[in-house]
Amino acid sequence: MKTQNDTREVSMKSLLYGIGLFIFGGMVLTNVTTPLPSKESTKEFLLFIFGGALIYYFLVSVYFIGGLWRKVFYAMLFLLCGFSILMVFYLITHSIPH
């Protein structure tokens, strides 16, 4: 039997899926409107978008499983945040001259 809380979670899940569709669809559309100079750059850009979308939809799905999986979701977000901060410092100290 569905409760009101269940329908709220389903609508929130649909909203997050829709937001992801706009974000990643817009990124792909950017490549159509402003093409990159080489096929290799385009391939890397599309792989980046695909990887980001895969992580995003995986995290949304894991979050809405609930229970222990919510803790896994928060742990993964914490690790992604920590890795991003470490990459900032790594890229600052190992910059590539252009």
Residue 48, in any domain of the structure: yes
Confidence label for 10 from pLDDT (cuts 50, 70 and 90): confident
Residue 63, in any domain of the structure: yes
pLDDT of residue 7: 72
Q: Rounded to whole angstroms, what are the CA distances from 18 to 12, 53, 75?
A: 10, 12, 24
CB-based burial label for 52 (10 Å; 0-12, 13-18, 19+): middle
Total domain count, the chain: 1
Tokens at residue 22, please? 């706009």
Distance separating alpha carbons of residues 74 and 80, to the nearest angstrom: 10
Considering the entire predicted model, what is its pTM? 0.78
pLDDT of residue 4: 65
Residue 98, in any domain of the structure: no
Question: What pLDDT, in 10s, does the model give residues 25-66?
Answer: 999 999 889 988 999 999 999 999 999 999 999 999 999 998
What is the Rg, in whole angstroms, of the alpha carbon atoms belonging to the chain? 18
pLDDT of residue 3: 64
Residue 28, in any domain of the structure: yes
Provide the domain limits for residue 80. 4-93
